[in-house]
Chain A
């Protein structure tokens, strides 16, 4: 351990150099990070802010007519917004009950080997690339076509299901960690009074874990909003309008950004791409900030 004032020349200076290098690295990387992210956001705001307005969303169609579904939107990103909202809503509807139940089981009922195994598979799920989740949906359609002969196609329902599977780990982990954070004394009180485990969980533990669970849900929603790989394989299209039903194709904001970045035909479409990127970024940032806010509230509660 070299003391600052007593560096011996030769032996001490090599290590001295390393320590200095670490300091340089720290400052350089931090500055670099701030520059890169700062410039990214600045660039988006620069090119995207001017495009924000009803034109971006509805094109030439009057806003009210578009919102009430009376007239279709041709030049705006409203159908993509609807598609993304539909995806978020539906994947949430599937993954929330499934994930919370699974998380409850792992936190409160699971024991020993079976818990170990279940946790392992769910960890693998968490690490699975999103393209494979989309491939699952795609393969399912192929399978149904080959084996059952039904002319199935990729659609909103399939995409929502695959997205739900993708975000499941966020909800399971959120629920499990929130429940494990509830003090054991509460469980003992419940059991001591003669409550069944289900009663203890529902009436005593879940209210205490609610904020953590909610935080996990918001992370899941953000993930569902931004994912592109899954929907690429399960039915997203560039110009499908507003999906009328579960078996329809659909548009989505992240895909719209990708599509325009590759295939834009004129400056207007490019501007629209920037506007869309800004809109999506705002959406995910909002979700992030609310999750962070809730998380902080949670930290204060159990102290």
Chain B
């Protein structure tokens, strides 16, 4: 794939080490704007680490070193995320993340939403409630929580918590959203709900999703990347992937 006006993320020859262990091995790939890109692969293939490289969250772990370039298209400009022109915190503001297990803050539902708005988006108090409602609606959670905003977020079900985390990320108005196996810890029904949400969001945001299931990938993936031993081994468009023989994919992956 070439860089076109369509590209949102451009990764070139990216390597990552933790101490002496090489986790990512010359990864080169491009993600399109307003598209759902799904990354699949065996466990240990570096998918989650790669995702975390996109918002430089790996650097919070000790002894992390990397080489190569990652460029993202934010606010109508290309930014080399390692160049230092954009502050780490601003990068993470505009590249949102949802983790594998819902990591709600030990506070009320309302505080979960308004705290990041106050601290990261610098939003004045008068605007926060409106932004919170908007984001909760977008995550299809508003109707379920609007009467219990003061309750502790931990009292929500797993699926609701994950949607809260999604809403929390959306409230910060990112352009790119990273989702790390977002339904891994949820039951079937809740997982389906999140997948529908993701499909809906795919038109407005650039989404990069790490998935653990082929079924999910077939359901939501528009561009599919296969990771193996720290490399992006193959890339498929949606049609190609759906027309692929499942047995062949399994072989390639495992």
Q: Residues of A with Cβ closer than 8 Å to B?
A: 185-189, 191-196, 199, 203-204, 207-208
Q: How many whole Å from A175's CB to the nearest CB in chain B?
A: 19
Query: Which residue of the partner chain, among A186, A188, A194, contacts B120 with CB atoms under 8 Å?
Result: A194
What string of 1s and 0s marks CB contacts (under 8 Å) between B106-121 and chain A?
A: 1000000001100110
Could you tell me if B60 and A188 are in contact, using CB atoms closer than 8 angstroms? Answer: yes
Could you tell me if B106 and A189 are in contact, using CB atoms closer than 8 angstroms? Answer: no
For A199, the closest partner residue in chain B by CB is B119
Residue numbers in A under 8 Å from B94 (CB-CB): 194
Question: Which B residues from 170 to 204 make CB contacts under 8 A with A?
Answer: 172
Could you tell me if B105 and A194 are in contact, using CB atoms closer than 8 angstroms? Answer: no
List 8 additional A-B contacts (Cβ < 8 Å) besides A192-B92, A195-B89, A203-B115.
A185-B103, A188-B103, A191-B92, A193-B96, A193-B116, A194-B91, A196-B89, A204-B105
Q: With an 8 A cutoff between CB atoms, is B236 at the interface?
A: no
Question: Which B residues from 63 to 121 make CB contacts under 8 A with A?
Answer: 89-94, 96-97, 99, 101, 103, 105-106, 115-116, 119-120
Could you tell me if B168 and A187 are in contact, using CB atoms closer than 8 angstroms? Answer: no
**Majority SS of interface residues in chain A?**
helix
For A204, the closest partner residue in chain B by CB is B105
In the bound assembly, the distance between CA atoms of A222 and B101 in angstroms comes to 42
Residue numbers in B under 8 Å from A196 (CB-CB): 89
Residues A189 and B60 in contact in the complex (CB < 8 Å), given A194-B92, A195-B119:
no
In the bound assembly, the distance between CA atoms of A191 and B55 in angstroms comes to 10
In the bound assembly, the distance between CA atoms of A181 and B124 in angstroms comes to 33
Q: With an 8 A cutoff between CB atoms, is B242 at the interface?
A: no
Residues A191 and B60 in contact in the complex (CB < 8 Å), given A196-B89, A203-B115, A203-B119:
yes
Q: Residues of B with Cβ closer than 8 Å to A?
A: 55, 57, 60, 89-94, 96-97, 99, 101, 103, 105-106, 115-116, 119-120, 168-169, 172
B92, B99, B119, B168 interface centre (most CB from chain A within 10 Å): B119
Residue numbers in A under 8 Å from B115 (CB-CB): 203
Could you tell me if B120 and A195 are in contact, using CB atoms closer than 8 angstroms? Answer: yes
Could you tell me if B106 and A208 are in contact, using CB atoms closer than 8 angstroms? Answer: yes
In the bound assembly, the distance between CA atoms of A9 and B89 in angstroms comes to 74
In the bound assembly, the distance between CA atoms of A161 and B208 in angstroms comes to 56
In the bound assembly, the distance between CA atoms of A260 and B106 in angstroms comes to 53
Residue numbers in B under 8 Å from A208 (CB-CB): 106
In the bound assembly, the distance between CA atoms of A192 and B106 in angstroms comes to 16
A-B pairs, 6 with minimum CB distance: A194-B93, A194-B92, A194-B120, A189-B103, A192-B97, A194-B89
Could you tell me if B89 and A187 are in contact, using CB atoms closer than 8 angstroms? Answer: no
In the bound assembly, the distance between CA atoms of A186 and B105 in angstroms comes to 7
Could you tell me if B116 and A194 are in contact, using CB atoms closer than 8 angstroms? Answer: yes
Q: How many whole Å from A194's CB to the nearest CB in chain B?
A: 4
Residue numbers in A under 8 Å from B101 (CB-CB): 185
In the bound assembly, the distance between CA atoms of A195 and B172 in angstroms comes to 12
In the bound assembly, the distance between CA atoms of A194 and B55 in angstroms comes to 9
Residue numbers in A under 8 Å from B90 (CB-CB): 194
For A192, the closest partner residue in chain B by CB is B97
Could you tell me if A187 and B103 are in contact, using CB atoms closer than 8 angstroms? Answer: no
Query: Which residue of the partner chain, among B60, B106, B168, contacts A193 with CB atoms under 8 Å?
Result: B168
Residue numbers in A under 8 Å from B60 (CB-CB): 187-188, 191
In the bound assembly, the distance between CA atoms of A272 and B168 in angstroms comes to 64
Q: How many whole Å from A216's CB to the nearest CB in chain B?
A: 21
In the bound assembly, the distance between CA atoms of A136 and B118 in angstroms comes to 46
Residue numbers in B under 8 Å from A199 (CB-CB): 119-120
